[in-house]
């Protein structure tokens, strides 16, 4: 075995332990022994090595019964950090995450200009400041964007009004790793790992915001096709073919399920604040406005019909809904259920995949960005690099 391989192999079990930490809040060393099928001596050796590397800390667990005393496992207070970033239509948000995946120190920045160069400059400055503040601990940045991502680059964003944008300058000139993903897909990752569809083998996530996004998540990992651009479900041709989508296609599902569709059904101009407009229409519908109710019902029908089609296509165990999809379904739950079931193939109707509200709410994309970024930080190679940087 070469020295390089031997250097990383010794961190394999440690990577498994840290992965367990992210999926199980407040685990004990006894939990590791039971769930990872470790011997007590192996668990002691691994956790000891993680403590010495400043990756893990332990504290006595509350005693319960006559069992042997055990310890609670936590990320080390001086351990590695990840910066999770979300770029949205009107704002950027970011938060730090430790090895348990919990978000903290969250900040929101309203875009004073939608120009990508301006957004890039703001995020670049943020990375520089945080890297200086957390010297040596900040190891990677993981970005979720409302855009199509191909080969790690933003290639198009109808929502942001951007064409191809290279986001790598955010971490240029640093030693930080940089990961990029679609926001709705990453929200689906968060739901599949620690949210509404956790512990399901195959999950479908749908997020309505400006248009609809999401994707198929298998065993906690997104299906993104050959180049990463897969899962653009909002651009399935499920809409009116006389309507031109900002993506360049016609008849996109995107145009049938958000505030633009509601405005069109109400014979009003397309709103500039698409998200806010949709919530205002929902409020009018809840107060009994018959025109608003009719518009909402048309959008709910489009959402439910497309959901059924995707279930027929992908055969998921469960479906999660995020963003505007949640209050839309809540506004007409019987209509959604009827259209959804009627759109399913006969064999699916016997036991249709449940459609669940997202557990992470508006923070799904940030949680997903953190999850994917921490996958990178907890590989054997990354852990070996961290250990070497701490002991150099």
Residue 154 is predicted with a pLDDT of: 85
Residue 28, strand partner residues:
72
Residue whose token pair is 């790793």: 177
Rounded-to-integer distance, Cα 275 and Cα 209, Å: 6
With cut-offs at 50, 70 and 90, classify the pLDDT of residue 390. Answer: confident
Residue 43 is predicted with a pLDDT of: 87
User: What are the counts of helices (DSSP H) followed by strands (DSSP E) for the chain?
Assistant: 14, 14
With cut-offs at 50, 70 and 90, classify the pLDDT of residue 132. Answer: very high
Rounded-to-integer distance, Cα 388 and Cα 174, Å: 18
β-pairing, 138-145 vs 81-87, is parallel
Calculate the alpha carbon distances from 348 to 190, 231, 262, 318, 345 in Å. 26, 22, 30, 12, 5
**Identical fold at 81-186+365-391 and 199-358?**
yes
SS (H, E, C) 56-121: EEEEECCCCCCCCCCEEEEECCCCCEEEEEEECCCEEEEEEECCCCCEEEEEEEECCCCCHHHHHH
Residue 334 is predicted with a pLDDT of: 98
Q: Does domain 3-75 have CATH number 1.10.10?
A: yes
Rounded-to-integer distance, Cα 14 and Cα 42, Å: 10
Rounded-to-integer distance, Cα 364 and Cα 342, Å: 29
Residue 389 is predicted with a pLDDT of: 84
User: How high is the mean pLDDT of the chain?
Assistant: 91
CA 379 to chain centre: 20
Neighbours of 190 (CB within 10 A): 32
pLDDT digits (tens, 9 = 90+) for 311-363: 999 999 999 999 999 999 999 999 999 999 999 999 999 999 999 999 999 99
Residue 24 is predicted with a pLDDT of: 84
Q: CA 94, 100, 101 angle in degrees (round to 5)? A: 30
CATH for 199-358 is 3.30.420.40
With cut-offs at 50, 70 and 90, classify the pLDDT of residue 205. Answer: very high
Residue 184 is predicted with a pLDDT of: 93
pLDDT digits (tens, 9 = 90+) for 146-170: 888 888 888 888 777 888 888 999 9
Does residue 256 surpass a pLDDT of 90?
Answer: yes
pLDDT digits (tens, 9 = 90+) for 160-203: 788 888 899 999 989 999 999 999 999 999 999 999 999 899 99
Residue 233 is predicted with a pLDDT of: 92
Does residue 121 surpass a pLDDT of 80?
Answer: yes
With cut-offs at 50, 70 and 90, classify the pLDDT of residue 247. Answer: confident
Domain extent listing, the chain: 3-75, 81-186+365-391, 199-358
Rounded-to-integer distance, Cα 137 and Cα 372, Å: 18
With cut-offs at 50, 70 and 90, classify the pLDDT of residue 2. Answer: low
Output the pTM of the full model: 0.91
| Mean pLDDT to the nearest integer, 369-386 | 93
Answer for the pair 35, 20: CB distance below 8 angstroms, yes or no. yes
- What sign does the CA torsion over 271, 161, 367, 137 have? negative
% of the chain with per-residue pLDDT over 70: 96
- The beta strands (E) that lie in the chain are given as 56-60, 71-75, 81-87, 91-97, 103-110, 138-145, 148-150, 153-156, 177-182, 202-209, 211-218, 221-222, 318-323, 355-357
Higher pLDDT, 225 or 296: 296
Q: Does domain 81-186+365-391 have CATH number 3.30.420.40?
A: yes
% of the chain with per-residue pLDDT over 90: 66
């Amino acid at each position: 075995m070469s020295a390089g391989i031997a250097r990383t192999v010794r961190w394999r079990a440690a990577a498994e332990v840290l992965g367990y930490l992210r999926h199980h809040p407040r685990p004990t060393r006894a939990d590791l022994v039971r769930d990872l099928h470790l011997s007590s001596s192996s668990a002691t050796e691994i956790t000891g090595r993680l403590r010495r590397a400043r990756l893990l800390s332990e504290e006595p667990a509350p005693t319960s019964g006559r069992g042997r005393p055990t310890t609670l496992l936590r990320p080390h207070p001086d351990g590695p950090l990840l910066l999770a970033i979300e770029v949205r239509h009107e704002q950027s948000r970011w938060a730090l995450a430790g090895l348990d995946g919990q978000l903290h120190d969250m900040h929101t920045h309203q875009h004073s200009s939608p120009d990508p160069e301006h957004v890039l400059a703001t995020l670049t400055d943020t990375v520089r400041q945080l890297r200086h503040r957390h010297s040596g601990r900040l190891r990677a940045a993981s970005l979720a964007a409302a855009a199509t991502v191909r080969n790690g680059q933003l290639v198009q964003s109808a929502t942001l009004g951007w064409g191809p944008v290279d986001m790598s300058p955010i971490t240029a000139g640093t030693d930080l790793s940089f990961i990029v993903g679609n926001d709705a897909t990453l929200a689906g990752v968060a739901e599949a790992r620690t949210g509404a569809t956790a512990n399901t083998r195959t999950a479908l996530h749908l997020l309505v915001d400006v248009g609809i996004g999401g994707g198929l998540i298998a065993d906690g990992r997104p299906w993104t096709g050959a180049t990463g651009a897969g899962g653009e479900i909002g651009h399935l041709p499920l809409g009116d073919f006389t309507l031109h989508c900002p993506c360049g296609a016609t008849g996109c599902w995107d145009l049938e399920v958000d505030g633009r569709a509601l405005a069109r059904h109400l014979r009003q101009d397309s709103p500039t604040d698409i998200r806010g407009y949709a919530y205002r229409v929902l409020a009018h519908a809840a107060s009994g406005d018959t025109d608003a109710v009719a518009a909402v019902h048309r959008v709910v029908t489009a959402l439910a019909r497309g959901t059924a089609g995707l279930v027929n296509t992908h055969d998921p165990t469960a479906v999660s809904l995020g963003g505007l999809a949640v209050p839309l379904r809540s506004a007409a739950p019987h209509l959604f259920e009827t259209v959804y079931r009627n759109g399913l193939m006969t064999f699916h109707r016997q036991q249709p995949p449940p459609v669940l509200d997202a557990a992470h709410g508006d923070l799904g994309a940030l949680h997903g960005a953190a999850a994917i970024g921490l996958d990178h930080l907890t590989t054997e190679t990354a852990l070996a690099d961290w250990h070497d940087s701490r002991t150099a």
